[in-house]
Structure 1
Amino acid sequence: MRGRGGKGSSLIDIVPVILSGGSGTRLWPLSRAEKPKQFLSLTAAETMLQLTAARARGAGFAAPVVVANAAHADEVEAQLAAAGAEALVLEPVGRNTAPAIALAALSADPDAALLVMPSDHVIADVDAFHAAIRRALPLVEDGWLVTFGITPDAPETGYGYIQVGEEVAAGVHRVARFVEKPGRDVAEAMLAAGDHAWNGGIFLFRADAFVAALARFAPDMLAAVRASLDAARREGARVWPDADAFAASPSDSIDYAVMEKADRVAVVPVAMGWSDVGSWDALHTISEGDAQGNVVSGDVVALDAANCLVRAEGVRVAIAGVSDLIVVASGSDVLIVPRGRSQDVKLLLDAMKK
Structure 2
Amino acid sequence: MEFGEECQHVAVDGERLTAIELRTSISACIIPVVLSGGGGSRLWPVSTNEKPKQFLPLNGSHTLFRGTVERVSDRSRFAAPIIVGSALHEELLERDLAGIEAQLIFEPCAKNTAAAIAMAALMAREGHGEDALLLVMPSDHVIDDSKAFCDAVVKGEAAARAGRLVAFGVRPTAPETGYGYIRLGREIPGIQGVMDVANFVEKPSLEVAKAIVGDGEHLWNAGIFLFRVGTVLEELREFAPEIARAAEGAIASGARKGDHFWPDSAAMAGCPDKSFDYAVMEHSRRVAVVPMSPGWSDLGSWDSIADMADGQMDADFVTTVDCDDCYVRTDGLRISALGVRDLIIVASGQRLLIVPRGRSQEVKRLLSAMGAPAT
**TM, length-normalised to structure 1:** 0.92
Contact 1:113–1:206 (Cα < 8 Å) also in 2: yes
The reply on whether 1:232 has 2:254 as its aligned counterpart is: yes
Corresponding position of 1:148: 168
Corresponding position of 2:237: 215
Corresponding position of 2:119: 103
SS at match of 1:26: helix
**CA drift at 1:91:** 0.8
Alpha-carbon separation, structure 2, partners of 1:14 and 1:208: 14
Matches within 5 A, 1:70-219: 70-85=87-102, 87-108=103-124, 109=128, 110-168=130-188, 169-219=191-241
- Percent of residue pairs identical: 49
Corresponding position of 1:264: 286
**CA drift at 1:321:** 5.0
Alpha carbons of structure 1 residues 218 and 82: separation in structure 2 relative to 1, 3 Å: same
Corresponding position of 1:10: 25
103-112 or 298-307, which deviates more:
298-307
Corresponding position of 2:342: 324
Alpha carbons of structure 1 residues 33 and 170: separation in structure 2 relative to 1, 3 Å: same
Alpha carbons of structure 1 residues 317 and 185: separation in structure 2 relative to 1, 3 Å: closer
Alpha-carbon separation, structure 2, partners of 1:302 and 1:2: 52
Contact 1:314–1:331 (Cα < 8 Å) also in 2: yes
Contact 2:167–2:225 (Cα < 8 Å) also in 1: yes
**CA drift at 1:230:** 0.7
Unaligned runs of 5+ in 1: none
Counterpart residue identity of residue 326, structure 1: I
The structure richer in strand per residue is 1
Counterpart residue identity of residue 116, structure 2: A
Alpha carbons of structure 1 residues 221 and 353: separation in structure 2 relative to 1, 3 Å: closer
Alpha-carbon separation, structure 2, partners of 1:117 and 1:30: 23
Counterpart residue identity of residue 352, structure 1: M
CA RMSD of aligned residues (A): 2.1
Contact 2:146–2:294 (Cα < 8 Å) also in 1: yes
Counterpart residue identity of residue 52, structure 1: T
Counterpart residue identity of residue 289, structure 2: V
The reply on whether 1:243 has 2:265 as its aligned counterpart is: yes
The reply on whether 1:296 has 2:306 as its aligned counterpart is: no
Corresponding position of 1:333: 351
Corresponding position of 2:308: 286
**CA drift at 1:322:** 4.3
**CA drift at 1:298:** 6.9
Contact 2:318–2:328 (Cα < 8 Å) also in 1: no
Contact 1:306–1:323 (Cα < 8 Å) also in 2: yes
Alpha-carbon separation, structure 2, partners of 1:76 and 1:244: 24
SS at match of 2:246: helix
**CA drift at 1:171:** 0.8
**CA drift at 1:143:** 1.6
Matches within 5 A, 1:338-349: 338-349=356-367
The structure richer in helix per residue is 2
Alpha-carbon separation, structure 2, partners of 1:251 and 1:344: 21
Matches within 5 A, 1:20-35: 20-35=36-51
Corresponding position of 2:11: none
**CA drift at 1:4:** 7.2
Corresponding position of 1:312: 330
**TM, length-normalised to structure 2:** 0.87
Alpha-carbon separation, structure 2, partners of 1:326 and 1:190: 28
Contact 1:3–1:137 (Cα < 8 Å) also in 2: no
Corresponding position of 1:50: 66
**CA drift at 1:221:** 1.7
**CA drift at 1:93:** 1.2
Counterpart residue identity of residue 84, structure 1: E
**CA drift at 1:183:** 2.3
**CA drift at 1:318:** 4.0
SS at match of 2:91: helix
Q: How many pairs were matched up?
A: 347
Alpha-carbon separation, structure 2, partners of 1:79 and 1:4: 28
29-38 or 330-339, which deviates more:
330-339
Alpha-carbon separation, structure 1, partners of 2:168 and 2:25: 26
